[in-house]
Chains A and B, each alone.
Chain A
C-alpha cells in the first residue's frame, strides 16, 4: 500500500490549523458529552467501590483461599499491558525511524499515561491494608525496616513507579512545542494563560530544538528497555512463584508480546473513531491502520506461539503438576475461558492476513475489540487457573466474582475513557511539530 503518510494538500499552515482548531475552536459535540457522561457514571461506580473497599476490606471481592488473587490483578496486568503500545509506538518506532508513527504517537502516549495511571490503582487497593502501601518503598522509618528486596512485588513496585513517572514526563516533553502552538493561536485570554503556562515559554529556538531532539532520542532509547523491563517485572510477579503454570521462564517475553498485542488493539479501538469523528483521514491514513493491523497480527502470532509452547513445555516437562495444570486449562472448570481466549487471540486475528479485512475499518475495530477481551480473559485465566488447583488436592477451590469485582473492572474502564475524553478536548490529538517535520522531510524526499 503506497498512499502517502500525509495527504499532499496539508501544508505547515493547514495542518497546524486543522489540528489545533480541534482543541481551540471546535465546539463540544453532543456525542462527546454523551460518552463523557457514561464514563463519569462508571467512574462514580468505581469511586463507590473504593469507599466500600476501604470500609470493609478486600473481602468484598470474591477472593478466597486458595484463589487469593483474581479480578483486581487481572485488571492491573491488562491495563498496564495496554499502556505498553503507546510507549512502543513513540519510542520504538521513533528509533526505527518509522515516519508513520508521527500521526499516532500523541494519542498513543496519552493512552499509555492513562492506562498506567488506572492500572496503578489496583495493586494498591488490592492490599489488605492499602494505607500502608508506602512500606514497599525504601525510606528511613522508625521501625528500622526495609522492603524485602527479593520479592518480585517490590521489583514491580519500582517498575511501575519508574514507568509512570517516565511516561508522564515523556508525554509532557513531547507536548511542549504543540502547547506553544496552542498558546500562540489561542484567542481567549483564558486559553492563552492555560496553554501559556503549560508551554513554559517554548519559542522554538534552533538550539532549544537541538537539545529537545537529543533528549527525545535518549528518552526513546530508554523508554523501550523500560517498557520491556516493566512487563518482564509484571511477568515475574507470577513466575517468581512456584505454582504450576506460573513458574515459567517464558513469561517475560510472553507478557511483552501480550502487552504489545492488547496495546495495538487499544490503539486501533481509539484511533478508528478518532479518525472518523475528527476527520483526521489526512493524517491517520489507510496506511497507518494497515501497519497497525500488521503489527497486531505479528504480536498476536507471537502470543499464540507462547500458548503453544506453554502447552508443549507442560507435557514435555513430564512434571506431574505442570501436566495437571495444562489439563485443567484444556478441560477443567475454566476450560471455557481458555477456549474463549483461543477464539479471540488466535482464531480471530487470522483474518488480518487478508488486505480486504485490514482495509475494512469495521472489521479492524471488531477484531481489535475481540483482542482486548481475549487478553483480559487471558490474564484472568493465567492467575486463577494456577491458583484454584495447586499442589494439594485438599486445598483446591474455586473463584466466584462478586458485584464489586465487576464494579472495579467496569469502573476502571470508565475512568480511562474519562481521562481520554478530557485529553481529546484539551490537548492536540496529533503532534503538530512532528507532522510539520514530516511534511518537510517528504518535500525534501519529493524534491
Chain B
C-alpha cells in the first residue's frame, strides 16, 4: 500500500475548513451591515444646498422650532418652507452661489428636494410631539446639530436603540425647558430622570409594547 496524501496535505485540509468557517461568518456580518441602514451613522448626506446647522444653530443661535415649527404639535417635526428661509435670505447672502437653488425655488415656486437623514421604516410610527412633550431632548436622537456643518446621523435608529430609552427613559429625560438646548447635562441624571418620569406621567409599563410604535 502507498500513501494517498502528501504529509502536509492534512494541514491544508484543516486550514481550508477553518477558512470556509471564517468566510461564512464574514458573509453573514457583511449582509447584516448592508441590509439595515440607508446610510451609515456619521456619514454626511448629500444635499441640494449644503445647509449648515452649525452656522444657523451654533453661531446664529436660531431655535430649532423656528424652522421645525410643528415639532411640538405634530408627529412630523416639519421641514421649513422656502418662505422661512427667505425671511432672512431675501436680504442676507442673496448673491451666494450655494443659495442659488433656494432662491430659484422661491422665484420659480418649484419645491426643493432634500435628502432624508433620519429615515425610519414605514411600519414605524414615530411622533415628535409626544417625545418633546415628555422631555426627550432633540440632542438625544439628533446629536449636537449645533456642531454639524453638514447634517448627519449620530444614532443607529435601530429598534434596539429605541428600546434602550423606552426601557429606561430616566437615562435620557430632561426638563421640558431644556428640550431644545444643545449640550445640556443634568447633575444627577438618574435621580432627575426618575423624578421626571413621575412628573410627566410616563407609563413605563407600556413603553415597550409593540403597539406604541407599530400599527
CB B158 to nearest CB in A, in angstroms, measures 4
CA distance A47 to B156 in the complex (A): 39
Which interface class (under 10, 10 to 19, 20 to 34, 35 or more) fits A?
A: 10 to 19
Q: A142-B36, A144-B163, A196-B5 are in contact. List 8 more A-B contacts (CB 8 A).
A: A142-B158, A142-B159, A143-B158, A143-B159, A144-B159, A192-B4, A193-B4, A196-B4
22 residue pairs of the A-B complex, CB under 8 angstroms, read A142-B32, A142-B36, A142-B156, A142-B158, A142-B159, A142-B160, A143-B158, A143-B159, A143-B160, A144-B159, A144-B160, A144-B163, A145-B159, A183-B4, A184-B1, A192-B4, A193-B4, A193-B5, A196-B4, A196-B5, A197-B13, A201-B10
Give B residues with C-beta under 8 Å from A: 1, 4-5, 10, 13, 32, 36, 156, 158-160, 163
Closest to A189 in B: B4
Which A residues are CB-close (under 8 A) to B13?
Answer: 197
Within 8 A of B (CB), among A195-211: 196-197, 201
CA distance A144 to B213 in the complex (A): 14
CA distance A201 to B9 in the complex (A): 12
CB B100 to nearest CB in A, in angstroms, measures 40
Which B residues are CB-close (under 8 A) to A144?
Answer: 159-160, 163
Closest to A195 in B: B4
Closest to B4 in A: A196
CA distance A289 to B32 in the complex (A): 53
Closest to B2 in A: A192
CB A198 to nearest CB in B, in angstroms, measures 11
CB A186 to nearest CB in B, in angstroms, measures 9
Closest to A145 in B: B159
CB B147 to nearest CB in A, in angstroms, measures 27
Which B residues are CB-close (under 8 A) to A197?
Answer: 13
Within 8 A of B (CB), among A160-202: 183-184, 192-193, 196-197, 201
CB A107 to nearest CB in B, in angstroms, measures 27
CB B122 to nearest CB in A, in angstroms, measures 16
Closest to A199 in B: B4
CA distance A197 to B16 in the complex (A): 13
Closest to B163 in A: A144
Closest to A141 in B: B160
CA distance A196 to B2 in the complex (A): 12
CB B2 to nearest CB in A, in angstroms, measures 9
CB A169 to nearest CB in B, in angstroms, measures 15
CB A437 to nearest CB in B, in angstroms, measures 23
